[in-house]
Every structure is written in structure tokens, then in C-alpha cells.
Amino acid sequence: MHDDGLVFSYLIDGDGKGSRFDWAEVATWNPGDGLLWVHLNRDSEDSRHWLREQSGLDPLVVDALLAEDTRPRCAQMGGGVMLFLRGVNLNPGANPEDMVSIRVWLEESRIITVRIRRLLSVHDLRTAIEQGHGPTSTGDFVVQLAQRLVSRMAGVIGDIDDEVDALQDRVLVEESRQLRAQLNDLRREIIALRRYVAPQRDALAQLTVMRTSWFEDRDLLRLREEADRVTRYVEDLDAARERAAVTQEELGNKLSEQLNSRMYVLSVVAAVFLPLGFLTGLFGINVGGIPLADNPRGFVDILIVLLLITGLQVLLFRWRRWF
């Protein structure tokens, strides 16, 4: 096989360091050699072949690792744990809410991860191993991966809170329909993030209650902390979604008031000119007997009558408090 499907692989020692492995070394590895981490590209035929024919995994596990779309979840199968997580998409030109999946199969002496797109948290973990301060065990690997995934969520969710605050302030001073489109986009972004963040909280929480020999109590405690952080982020997203909805409702009310005010002014203008238009239309008919037709002051007298009618209408509207 070629190395295009193997993104990288490391044999991890107990001190946080690792030795780089290729396909040949992965094929000859055995549990007595130490903890092996194999990171694969899902779209590669080499990766698919190795998972199905040489990994020794249950076909159900392989199908799950190679599935087209996944949601964060955790399940214990035989002597291993299947863990699917998501990280915010911080790749250039990507939308953060388009979260990137990482599929993980955990055993005491072997870790298999499968990706579709590049995930910066996995790259950070690889860098930590090369620098000598990476994970020392399977439990520590899960903790460090979860910490990096959750930490990157903080910046994106913080930006969403700031954007909601900015839009709330703008609604107070602006009455722009463009704000409505921005609020709609923001709400869609929040919903897209929450779609994966909430199940990730449940997956991490479920992992903490699994009893496996290779998860130490310290690892479970750190995982509970990360699950609590994700819970706070879910609550922050819920609060931001509610604030955005309230802001959008307030903007809608202001735009409705603005429209009603303009319609009211147009209605008043139409009411003022309705009798004037009737009179001018009546005096403009081409038949005999029109009053003041032969009077030199007829035009002035008609203007005076029209002004008197307008003044009486204005007084009537003010008395009725119509404006």
C-alpha cells in the first residue's frame, strides 16, 4: 500500500514522545510494542482496505468509522470504545459552524482515528507528540484531544456573543432591514453549532461513566471537566439564540412601527386632500352654471374656501387626537 491513506502514525511511549510509523511498521505492530496511534484519511482506498482487511476491527465498527455523516456519540463495543467528536472548522475560508468530525476507536494499546477534513486539534496533538509532551496513555489521549476540541469552541462561541451584543446595540439606533438578514444568519449559525455541540456534551459525559481498565480516575475527572465546559457552551448558545430572537422581534416591531407611522401620514394627507380634490373636480366640469365662472375673483374665492376647509380639517384632527 501507498502512504496516501495514512496521514500519520506514531508509536507513543509512556513519556509523551512518539516514533513515526509507516504502513509497513503499522502492519508488524503488536500490543507489546506500546501504544499505537494510526490517523487515516477516510477517502483513501488504502485506508478503507486496511480497516476492513487488516485492522481486526468488527465490521460494524469499520462501517461506523467510514460512514458518510456522523454525529457525536460514544459506544462501548467489546474491548474497545467508539467515540465520535466534532471540532469547529477553522480551516481557511471555512465557516466555523461547519464542524469537522473526528472518528476515534480506542483500545488499551491502540488508537485509530479517521478524518474527512483536516482538524487543527489533531494537528496540535501531533505537534505535542513530536515535541515530547503528548499523551502517555489511551485515557490521556482522549483527554488531550477533548481539551483541544473544546478550547477552540470557546473563541467561536465568544465571537457569537459579541456579535449578538453588537446587533442589539445597532437595533437601538438603527432601523435597517439589513439587520434582519444578519440576525437570521446569526441564528442559523447558532443552530448549526448547537446541533453538534449538544451531542458532544452527551458523548463526553457517557465516556466518563464507562468502566474500562485503561481509563484512570484522573482521566475520568478531567473528562468530566471538559463535559462541564461543553455544557456551559451549550447554555451560552441557548442564551445567544434567545437574545438573537428577542433582538429580531424588537427589530420587527420597530420596522412595523415605522411602516405604520408612514402609512398614518399618508392616510392623513389623503384625508386632507379628499374634499379638496372633490371640490376642484366638481368645479372643473365643462358644463354651464358653474358658480363664479364669470366672476373675476372666482379663483381667489375658491382658494380661500379650500384653505378654510383644510384649516377646519386640521383642527378637527387635532381635536380628535389623530395626529
Cell 482521566 belongs to: 219
Residue 306 included in any domain: yes
Q: Is residue 34 part of a domain?
A: yes
Q: Which domain holds residue 174?
A: 6-254
How far apart are the C-alpha atoms of 322 and 317, rounded to whole Å? 5
The arithmetic mean of pLDDT across residues 264-273, rounded, is: 78
- Residues 75 and 48 both lie in one domain: yes
Q: Identify whether the C-beta of residue 50 lies closer than 8 Å to the C-beta of residue 1.
A: yes
Residue 163 pLDDT > 70: yes
Neighbouring CB atoms inside 10 A of 171's CB total: 19
CATH classification of the domain holding 293? 1.20.58
- Band the pLDDT of 185: cuts 50, 70, 90: confident
The pTM (predicted TM-score) of the whole model is 0.75
Confidence band of 231 (pLDDT split at 50, 70, 90): very high
pLDDT mean over 15-38: 91
- Identify whether residues 229 and 91 lie together within a single domain: yes
Whether residues 212 and 307 share a domain: the answer is no
Residues 300 and 217 in one domain: no
Whether residues 311 and 243 share a domain: the answer is no
Choose the final residue of a domain: 254, 281, 301.
Answer: 254
Look at residue 1 and tell me if it is in a domain: no
Domain C-terminal end among 254, 281, 299: 254
Q: CATH number, domain at 64?
A: 3.30.460.20
Number of structural domains (the chain) is 2
- Average pLDDT of the chain is 85
State percent of the chain over pLDDT 70: 91
CA end-to-end distance (rounded Å), the chain: 83
Phi, psi of 290 (to 5 degrees): -70, 125
Tens of pLDDT, residue by residue over 127-156, are 999 998 899 999 999 999 999 999 988 888
The pLDDT score that the predictor gives to residue 175 is 61
Residue 11 placed within a domain: yes
Quickly list DSSP for 236-284: HHHHHHHHHHHHHHHHHHHHHHHHHHHHHHHHHHHHHHHHHHHHHHHHT
- The pLDDT value given to residue 39: 95
Return the pLDDT at 92: 61
For residues 259 and 24, the model is more confident at 24
Is 244 among the domain residues?
Answer: yes
The domain boundary residue, chosen from 206, 227, 254: 254
* 291 lies in some domain: yes
Evaluate if residue 190 carries a pLDDT over 60: yes
Kindly report the backbone phi and psi dihedral angles of residue 161, in degrees, each rounded to the nearest multiple of 5, phi listed first: -60, -45
27-36, 95-104, 118-127, 254-263: lowest mean pLDDT where? 254-263
259-268 pLDDT per residue, tens: 777 787 778 7
